[in-house]
Amino acid sequence: PEDKGSYFAWGEVSTKSTYTPDNYTLTASPTVLPQHLDAANYIMKGNWRMPTKAEFKELIDNCKMTTLSYGVKFTASNGKYIILPFAGFKEEKLKSTEYGYYWTSNLYPSTSSKAYDIIIGTSQLYYEGNRHCGLSVRPVLPK
């Protein structure tokens, strides 16, 4: 559960060593990422995909959050849980590893250079992240 995984710019399906506006490749601004631009689906195939902002909200609203030394554990009423590690984010280097930054599949509506992400380990759960930054992706399956 403490494995931080890989980092992806929003709408890109491969990792890179640095994440800057100059090497960001997605020029389109879809409201929700289509399947071919979804890193979770590209890597895991099948029905796997990046979660929506609404799905992260459901997780936060319906689960007990417990802070661990390496991340946050979300426990549902049925006892099942998921751990999201404090993976930080990447630009020229890895930053803010005391928090976890996770992409949603939703574009931020007021500016196309940003997309929604959630930040765990802070009181600010929803944020508009710069699309060029490398953030973690937590794959989900449809219900």
Q: What are the pLDDT digits (tens) for 33-49? A: 999 999 999 999 999 99
3-state secondary structure of 51: coil
Q: Which residues of the chain have pLDDT under 50?
A: none
Strand order in the sheet with 100-107: 100-107, 114-120, 126-130
| pLDDT at site 23 | 98
| pLDDT at site 124 | 63
| pLDDT at site 123 | 65
Query: What does the alpha-carbon distance between residue 34 and residue 78 come to, in Å, rounded to a whole number?
Result: 32
| pLDDT at site 90 | 97
| pLDDT at site 126 | 72
Pairing of strands 71-75, 64-67: antiparallel
Instruction: Tell me, yes or no, if the pTM score tops 0.75.
Output: yes
